[in-house]
Structure 1
């Protein structure tokens, strides 16, 4: 019996160190999310902003080898299977890149830009996104008068 337990521990250790066990767990989580989502009400279509934001996050996660998190995000968000092209993202965000910036996710460059630039008072004016208004299922009821 001890030999069987030792074998189980050795196999588990090998699968963990090679990353296979984590990948299997992530795949199972993604499939569970997918199965649950198929049974719920249909997911609203992704807005243009959400497509871009999700792709920026996915690029960051994959660069940092957070593949399990990326697989769950992809399954849960409904992001297209084929990722958005990096040049498309850069064009949409009106970002110019040099050869060194292309070696890291766009999110790094965006954060670096805002950390290293400032105007008169060190703040930036943000405009509201073009996201749709809250739906009735997300709306919080107000007080009754």
Structure 2
């Protein structure tokens, strides 16, 4: 007869092999965040910029199969459960895509654009902030 410890290990191994254990842990974390948020009062409204940023991050996380992290992000940030349409995101960010760029998250294309841009001596001036980002191989 199996001991309780052996049964626990067998269940844990089965859930891990099916990929369910991580999902369950993420769901529990999301529920804990939700319960904690209820006690903190109303969350500030999700700004348009944060909505877009969160969606870029969620698309990246899901592409890389970080689904547990994505579920916690959605729960903690107040992001809508249903992902925003990719074309809507591209339009909002004024991004045009070719066939190959549509196979990866928009965040990859944005980062690639800035890493490979040679405008303004390798620097990008961020609007609304007094910060410039140096491109690789250039000093500030």
With the shorter chain as reference, the TM-score category is 0.7 to 0.9
Q: CA deviation at 1:39?
A: 1.4
Identify the residue that residue 109 of structure 1 maps to in structure 2. Answer: 109
Unaligned runs of 5+ in 2: 130-140
- For 1:65-76, what aligned pairs fall within 5 Å after superposition? 65-76=65-76
Deviates more, 1:49-58 or 1:13-22: 13-22
Q: List structure 1 segments (4+ residues) > 4 angstroms apart after TM superposition.
A: 1-4
**In structure 1, C-alpha distance between the alignment counterparts of 2:67 and 2:113, rounded to whole Å:** 26
Unaligned runs of 5+ in 1: 130-145
Q: CA deviation at 1:122?
A: 1.0
Q: CA RMSD in A?
A: 1.6
TM-score (ref. length: structure 2): 0.85
Identify the residue that residue 133 of structure 2 maps to in structure 1. Answer: none
The 1:44/1:115 distance shift into structure 2, 3 A limit, reads same
**In structure 2, C-alpha distance between the alignment counterparts of 1:59 and 1:45, rounded to whole Å:** 21
**In structure 2, C-alpha distance between the alignment counterparts of 1:21 and 1:77, rounded to whole Å:** 23
TM-score (ref. length: structure 1): 0.83
**Larger strand proportion, structure 1 or 2?**
2
Quick one: higher RCO (CA 8 Å, sep 6+), 1 or 2?
A: 1
How many residue pairs match? The answer is: 129
